[in-house]
Amino acid sequence: MFFTIISKGNLDFLINLNFTTGDLWVLGAALGWALYSIYLLNWKSKFSLMARFTLIAMFGFISLFPFFVLENIYFAKTNYNQTFLFWIIFAAISPSIIAFSLYTQLQKYVGASFAGFTLYLFAVYGSIFGIIIFEEPLLSFHYLGGLLVFTGVYFARKKT
């Protein structure tokens, strides 16, 4: 489904697909999250949810800070204005604290394998947000991609 949406249903696009450095970083992040989810099953931590989040955030900061410094030195200086601060606070609260907490609670109650299926819906959410926020047209590949996601999740969860 993901490939259907990013290729806009065009097979030639997939055949001639070129990966950029950013694509590889996203792939690495996805693999990291998958490993984290699997590791979470076997790691019976005595840390509270917020203590675990704090550790993850701290190590995330440590690993990303050098890239922030390099970007400010070699590419573009960060403009610390009200808009910047708004989006930093928004990113810290919404996708970070709230989403992490909800996902961790979901994993606790339904297990990592079932909770992992929510990640497949990201492409569907992204399409919906693109249509609503950026006024992108709703095209046939959106329907096909959504159908493939929901069909895949249905069959993956179906008991044989």
Please name the residue ranges forming H helices in 17-139: 21-42, 49-74, 82-91, 99-110, 112-115, 117-120, 122-133
Q: State the sign of the Cα–Cα–Cα–Cα dihedral 141, 144, 149, 152.
A: negative
Q: Could you give the CA distance from residue 106 to residue 100 in angstroms, rounded to a whole number? A: 10
At 69, list the tokens: 């410094």
At 45, list the tokens: 């931590």
Write out pLDDT tens, residues 20-64.
777 777 778 778 877 776 776 666 778 887 787 788 888 888 988
| pLDDT reading at 134 higher than 80 | yes
- The residues, any chain, with a CB within 8 Å of residue 17's CB and separated by 6 or more, are 7
Rg of the chain over all Cα atoms, to the nearest angstrom:
19
Write out pLDDT tens, residues 104-132.
888 888 877 777 777 778 788 888 888 89
At 108, list the tokens: 């606790």
